[in-house]
Structure formats: structure tokens, C-alpha cells
């Protein structure tokens, strides 16, 4: 599944399907309705590729409490 960036706070989320997202920094999951998701999330192709090839990156984001920079 893809990695998206919250444009309001620059947190990264993994899309889990069925409108469910996991915050990679905090580890919390939740459901976001489709309309809100379109407004708040932008797909991040680079992070999706990196995380799919190197799954440990998600653990590093969580352990180091990282946000993405523009």
C-alpha cells in the first residue's frame, strides 16, 4: 500500500485500505473519510518506493519521531 503525506503537518501515513491510515511517526491507525483524505493527503511516490524496498524505514520514522520536509 502507498505512503501519503499529510499536507497540514507533514506526517507520513501508510494507506492500509478501506479508508484506514496508519501514522508512521506515532503508530496510531484510524479511518479517514474519502473526501477528507483527498483534501489532506498527497501520495508520496518516493517514500512509497523506499518503504516498499526497505521496510525498516517505517520503524526508523517511528523510533526517531520523524516528519518529512518539503
Please tell me the predicted confidence (pLDDT) of residue 1.
Answer: 81
Please tell me the predicted confidence (pLDDT) of residue 9.
Answer: 95
Structural contact between residues 2 and 49, judged by C-beta atoms closer than 8 angstroms = no
> pTM score > 0.75 for this model?
yes
State which residues of the chain have pLDDT below 50. none
Give residue limits of the domains in the chain. 3-64
Please tell me the predicted confidence (pLDDT) of residue 45.
Answer: 96
Please tell me the predicted confidence (pLDDT) of residue 69.
Answer: 87
Please tell me the predicted confidence (pLDDT) of residue 53.
Answer: 96
Please tell me the predicted confidence (pLDDT) of residue 32.
Answer: 97
Please tell me the predicted confidence (pLDDT) of residue 15.
Answer: 97
Amino acid at each position: 500500500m502507498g505512503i501519503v503525506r499529510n499536507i497540514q503537518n507533514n506526517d507520513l501515513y501508510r494507506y492500509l485500505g478501506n479508508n484506514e491510515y496508519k501514522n508512521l511517526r506515532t503508530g496510531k491507525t484510524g479511518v479517514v473519510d474519502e473526501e477528507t483524505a483527498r483534501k489532506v493527503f498527497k501520495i508520496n511516490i518516493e517514500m512509497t518506493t523506499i518503504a516498499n524496498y526497505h521496510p525498516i524505514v517505517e520503524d526508523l520514522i517511528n523510533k526517531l519521531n520523524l516528519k518529512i520536509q518539503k
